[in-house]
Amino acid sequence: MKTKITIPNTDIEIHPLGLGTVNAGLAWDGKDADRIFDAFLDMGGSLIDTAHVYSDWVKPERARSERVIGDWLECSGKRDRIVLATKGGHPDMTVPDPDTHISRMKKTDMEADLDSSLKQLRTDYIDIYFYHRDDESQTVEELIEVMEGFRRKGKIRYYGCSNWTTSRMRAADEYCAERGYRGFAANQALLNLGYKYMNPLDDDTLVYADEEMQQYHREHTENLLMPYIGVCSGFFHKYIGKGSEAVKDSPYYTEGNLKTAERVRMLCDKYNATVSQVVLGFFGQQEFDCTPLYGPKNVEQIEEAMKAFEIPFEKEDYAV
* Active site (annotated) includes residue 54: yes
CB contact at 8 A, 126 and 85 = yes
SS (H, E, C) the chain: CCCCEECCCCCCEECCCEEECCCECCCECHHHHHHHHHHHHHCCCCEEECCCCCCCCCCCCCCHHHHHHHHHHHHHCCHHHCEEEEEECCCCCCCCCCCCCCCCCCHHHHHHHHHHHHHHHCCCCEEEEEECCCCCCCCHHHHHHHHHHHHHCCCEEEEEEECCCHHHHHHHHHHHHHHCCCCCCEEECECCCCHHHCCCCCCCCCCECCHHHHHHHHHCCCCEECCECCCHHHHHHHHHHHCHHHCCCCCCCCHHHHHHHHHHHHHHHHHCCCHHHHHHHHHHHCCCCECCEECCCCHHHHHHHHHHHHCCCCHHHHCC
User: Of 54, 195, 216, 253, which is the active-site residue?
Assistant: 54
Listed residue (272, 290, 102) closest to 213, CA to CA? 290
Active site residues: 54
